[in-house]
Structure 1
Amino acid sequence: MPQSTETPRGFRFGVFEVDLRTGELRKDGRKVKLQEQPFQVLAMLLERAGEVVTREEVQKKLWPADTFVDFEHGLNIAINKIREALGDSADSPRFVETLPKRGYRFILPVVALDPSKPAADAATAVPPEVLARTEPARPKSAALRYAVASFGAVAALVAFVVGFNPGGLRDRLRGISSLPQIQSIAVLPLENLSGDPEQEYFADGMTDALITELGQASTLRVISRTSIIPYKGAKKPLPQIARELNVDAIVEGGVLRSGDQVRITAQLIYAPTDQHLWAETYEVNLRDIMLVQRRVAQAIAREIRINLKSREQARRTDGRTLNPQAHEAYLKALYYSGRPAERAKAMEYFNQAIQLDPGYAAPYAGLAASYYIPTFFDAIPPKEGFPRMKEAATQALSRDDTLAEAHGYLALTKLHYDWDWAGAEKEFRRAIELNPNQAGVRHDYAHFLMAMNRGAESLAESERAVDLDPLSLGLAACLGWHRLFGRQYDQSIEQSLRVLQMNPNFVWAQINLAWAYEQRMMFDEAIAQFQTAAKPPGPASTLAMASLGHAYAVSGKRGEAQKVLAQLTERAAKSYVSPYQVAAVYAGLGATNQAFAWLEKAYTERSSWLVHLTWDPRLASLHADPRFTDLVRRIGLPS
């Protein structure tokens, strides 16, 4: 193949691009200030990336021969300016390495830009195909480097691999291991580079997709979305973030969208040493965004030497074209679904995505998710919420049976509504097989194991969920619930108090703490927590109110318990109130007949809480009654 001898238009490395024709340095399409002389030094280093450029060579090319003293001082200033512009460090270099008494070397992978193609600007649409993919190679021949960048043929690629060792591939073939071992990773929120706050949902959606793709690797611990959100826009050093999340590596980058064209940049960094391992830039049409998300994940997987499951590698690449408008509606739905007060808006966008593209599976899974929390906490009657949830999950799987989240939500309907234990466990296990890193699925599976009276397994899955999503208040609070189930009351109290230190108003932690206090006969403390939890409106307010009534009853404040029953009756006239929760108050009062009457109503309505019947401490006084044994038998729960 003929080799290109044209001077390149510029160079791309990581999220940066150098335009030799305009003399500009850009980061994700935005200009970065760099004076002329430092720019010339940077250009010289990039032209010979991977090689040592001696101080004498720099002097001969860029400084007059009769200004040696000024040259030493000027070069040091130029290198400092370069590092400042790139955010680099002399002690832990990611871009420019100093070789004492010799010179400098540019150590990041570099791609030469085709002189026949114009530079992509932040304000203009980018080409529809993937224009550049930066691999961690250090070509020693400028001509070959330009040829590899300009052409992509197999012959050149083979020569590149053999001669220049991209990503350490040659070393790996020879059995040499130079990369640090990476067993855990966090994808930090991708930066919205558009300058438009209305595009935040798009960058967030790309982040979620990359987390999901990487999560398919069973040998890699991938931190879930909830725990990376607090780092959006944070200026913390990467090693500190890695310590806080207990991960080996960090992925960071940005998303720039202009119309239906998207540029995605991503970098992989070994966090303890801030060592840059890999970087790529993709420019693509929105219709191909899923394919690119997959390619980014595969590239990262190759670098850290893990495998994504082969059956998932064909996922979403079966030739079906993505509807850009439907995908945009889906990303907006995801954005709003993370805000409980915006749940209705999220469901509206999920439905809009389905209407725009009925064959698109992901919005159905999102719709199923939207029904779960309000139905579980009895804000929606179970005979309304769970069938809709099941239908949405089934529709999702009929279009893409590799969606782990859809299997998880189908499992929940089989658990809480169908009482199909074998079917539920099958779906949970399939979801975990498809994506072992989905903290939410593991958390829900822990609830199933709790209902099945498999306490040790339940606690282990709950702890695994927290390990995958260490900053999630919900999962941390549920760990306290699981310790309550295991009668580890002191540990349950400690766990709930830890959550409340992070957020004193987190209702689920308040409820769990109060339940544990009640089991410790600390009734005043329990009542105070239940009172606080019952005040704010929300899905769990009925649960908190009923638990308050039970605590009043068992502590001897029967009159107060009766008032709670009256309040529940008043609430039931306006909105749904689960009979199960009313039964809990009557059980506390010792009104056994009324308690069973309300439990029968709960059975008829298939209350979501009936799966916890055998261990719910509020109903412990009913266990000796034959009617309780009969109810357990009819539901099919393990005794």
Structure 2
Amino acid sequence: MTSPGGDPAPRHPAPTADPPTDGVRIGAFVFDRVTGDLTGDDGAQRLPPQPAALLALLLEQPGTLVTRDAIRARLWPDVHVEFDQSLHFCVRQLRAAFGEAADAPQYIETLPRRGYRLIAAVDPVEAPSAPTGTGPARPRRRVVPLALVFAFVLVLGGATWLSGILRAPAAPIRLAIMSFVAPDAGAGPSTTTTIADHLLARLGADPAFAVVGPTSTSAFDADDAPVARVVERFAPTYVVNGRFIGDGAMLGEVIRASDGAHVWVHRFDVTDDAATVAAIIDAGLREALDRARLTTSR
């Protein structure tokens, strides 16, 4: 193509779109939907998978009610969990991350028996502009030699490195044992701290576990959400809890910390022998872990 004067028309490079970004600004925070990182004035924290998924779902319709049914279909479509407890656990983790209280929400509003909505201002995070490429090209003559050196080092040390990896023991599973304290004084000692003590003796002796015992977790017994606080403070993989439900009954629970799912639950009477209760909970925990390993290996 030529200009009216016959000279060739100057060529202009096609505009280059900015690279996409997965970050979104929520009030005073920035959330990365890929990594699950929530960054505020105090730095970044990585949300557990289920709370991150819940926040991503709320972000799809900011300011709009997201129903409980929609949340269940997205987060727990084919999993049998105690839905109310798992959902409330996720919401508590999000509120703790945002630093807000349920009775004065600035980010997540509860619509009782209906669902939740994100009420904070939401704005996309602008991606950094792509380099223009107008600077001088760097010489490429050293790329091949460096690549060859790198490959040589990998081959030389690969066998030793791989051998070390194969011999490395699996990291212990981090457990938190709650104190099993009944909310009233009617239950005898066999249904309170004694169960937790038996569990600590059984699980703490197994090198497959790294156990945070009731001496540490009991500091949160008076909290409104003691399990959530223990997860926030000690970052366990699973929480072993005893929940007293009245009429002389207690539920032994194994709770997955990442999403609050109850992976094992069993009903006991408060008059049951503490050592027997601890043995049953121990077996239930190991059964749940075996199921999780089978699911992961498929």
* TM bucket normalised to smaller: 0.3 to 0.5
Q: When you count helix as a share of all residues, which structure comes out higher?
A: 1
Give the number of the structure whose alpha-carbon radius of gyration is greater: 1
Q: When you count strand as a share of all residues, which structure comes out higher?
A: 2
TM-score normalised by L of structure 2: 0.37
